[in-house]
């Protein structure tokens, strides 16, 4: 059976959402980031710095997927693999679609996620935090315009249907939602995020995330 390591409050969320969309059975191992634990908690919770976990992931980071003897430890690579191997139409129908799905996933990682993480991690109760969000929002206007433009034709990024490309990009864009008014300024992105977050598979992931103890 597929085994996915990583708590919901990590980049494992994008893998869990896709697994829920696919409907394939999987085991979830809630490995937590070590820096989020006290020494006492680290005695009892599986975490990223245990020897057992580092044997799977030398980078000591979640998520990790075990698919038989294949071990993958990059969240986007995990999703591209899951979509191709098990996802049917959530994955590519041909080499052209695969190239497009990879393009959007790599753009999400390199062109969008560093900026949206700046927004996510800012403490908006402080002036410095609010300034960080405002600066991040300003820098995000260009990549969000790119995504907005791509969504205008069909409402999806690749193939006129929901695919792994939408999930990979949407999970990264989600991190920018705390920036006041930012997403609303991009109507196609706002509509796309709305319909994606209403999906039962996303909702299952999200409710489990909210219920997560750590
Ligand atoms: N590029 C990697 C990033 C993985 C990553 O940084 N994971 C974080 C949690 S979201 C982590 O496990 N950090 C553990 C640590 O920094 O000790 C991916 O997308 O899979």
Let me know whether 149 and 109 are in one domain: yes
Instruction: Check if 79 has its Cβ closer than 6 Å to any atom of ligand 1.
Output: no
Identify which of 61, 108, 164 to mutate to test ligand 1's pocket (most ligand atoms within 8 A of the CB). Answer: 61
Let me know whether 187 and 114 are in one domain: yes
Let me know whether 154 and 77 are in one domain: no
Let me know whether 151 and 60 are in one domain: no
| Residue that has been written with the tokens 């697994």 in this structure | 19
Structure tokens that stand for 7 in this block: 């708590």
Distance CA(23)–CA(83), nearest Å, equals 11
Q: What residues make up the domain containing 11?
A: 2-89+202-211
Let me know whether 103 and 185 are in one domain: yes
pLDDT at 214 (0 to 100): 86
Bridge partners (DSSP) of residue 29 are 5
Let me know whether 50 and 12 are in one domain: yes
Instruction: Check if 74 has its Cβ closer than 6 Å to any atom of ligand 1.
Output: yes
Let me know whether 40 and 120 are in one domain: no
Local confidence pLDDT in tens for the 214 residues of the chain: 999 999 999 999 999 999 999 999 999 999 999 999 999 999 999 999 999 999 999 999 999 999 999 999 999 999 999 999 999 999 999 999 999 999 999 999 999 999 999 999 999 999 999 999 999 999 999 999 999 999 999 999 999 999 999 999 999 999 999 999 999 999 999 999 999 999 999 999 999 999 999 8
Let me know whether 99 and 48 are in one domain: no
> How many domains in the chain?
2
Let me know whether 62 and 131 are in one domain: no
Instruction: Check if 51 has its Cβ closer than 6 Å to any atom of ligand 1.
Output: no
Let me know whether 101 and 189 are in one domain: yes
Instruction: Check if 33 has its Cβ closer than 6 Å to any atom of ligand 1.
Output: yes
Burial state string for 58-82 with b = 16 or more CB within 10 A and e = fewer than 16: eebbbbbbbbeeeebbbbbebbbbb
Q: Which residues neighbour 4 within 8 Å (Cβ) at sequence distance 6 or greater? A: 12, 15, 16, 19, 26, 27, 28, 29, 63, 64, 65, 66, 78
Backbone angles phi, psi at 161, to 5 degrees: -150, 165
Let me know whether 66 and 111 are in one domain: no
CATH of the domain at 133: 1.20.1050.10
Identify which of 4, 11, 53 to mutate to test ligand 1's pocket (most ligand atoms within 8 A of the CB). Answer: 11
Distance CA(94)–CA(174), nearest Å, equals 28
Let me know whether 135 and 64 are in one domain: no
Q: Whose C-alpha lies nearest to ligand 1, atom 10?
A: 10
CATH of the domain at 78: 3.40.30.10
Q: Which residues neighbour 151 within 8 Å (Cβ) at sequence distance 6 or greater? A: 157, 188, 189, 191, 192
Question: How many residues would you count in the chain?
Answer: 214
**DSSP helix, strand, coil percent of the chain (3-state; round to 5):** 60, 10, 30
Structure tokens that stand for 97 in this block: 């679609």
């Amino acid at each position: 059976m597929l085994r996915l390591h990583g708590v919901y409050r990590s980049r494992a969320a994008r893998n869990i959402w896709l697994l829920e969309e696919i409907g394939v059975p999987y085991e979830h191992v809630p490995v937590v980031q070590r820096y989020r634990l006290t020494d006492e908690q680290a005695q009892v919770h599986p975490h990223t710095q245990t020897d057992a976990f580092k044997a799977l992931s030398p980078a000591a980071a979640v998520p990790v997927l075990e698919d038989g003897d294949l071990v993958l430890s990059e969240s986007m690579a995990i999703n591209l693999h899951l979509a191709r191997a098990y996802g049917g139409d959530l994955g590519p129908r041909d080499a052209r679609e695969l190239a497009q799905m990879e393009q959007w996933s790599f753009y999400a990682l390199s062109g969008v996620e560093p900026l949206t993480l700046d927004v996510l991690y800012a403490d908006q109760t402080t002036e410095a935090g609010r300034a960080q969000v405002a600066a991040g929002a300003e820098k995000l206007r260009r990549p969000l315009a790119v995504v907005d433009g791509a969504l205008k034709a069909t409402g999806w990024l690749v193939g006129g249907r929901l695919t792994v490309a939408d999930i990979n990009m949407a999970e990264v864009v989600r991190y920018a939602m705390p920036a006041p008014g930012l997403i609303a300024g991009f109507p196609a992105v706002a509509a796309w995020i709305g319909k994606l977050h209403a999906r039962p598979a996303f909702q299952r992931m999200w409710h489990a995330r909210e219920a997560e103890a750590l």
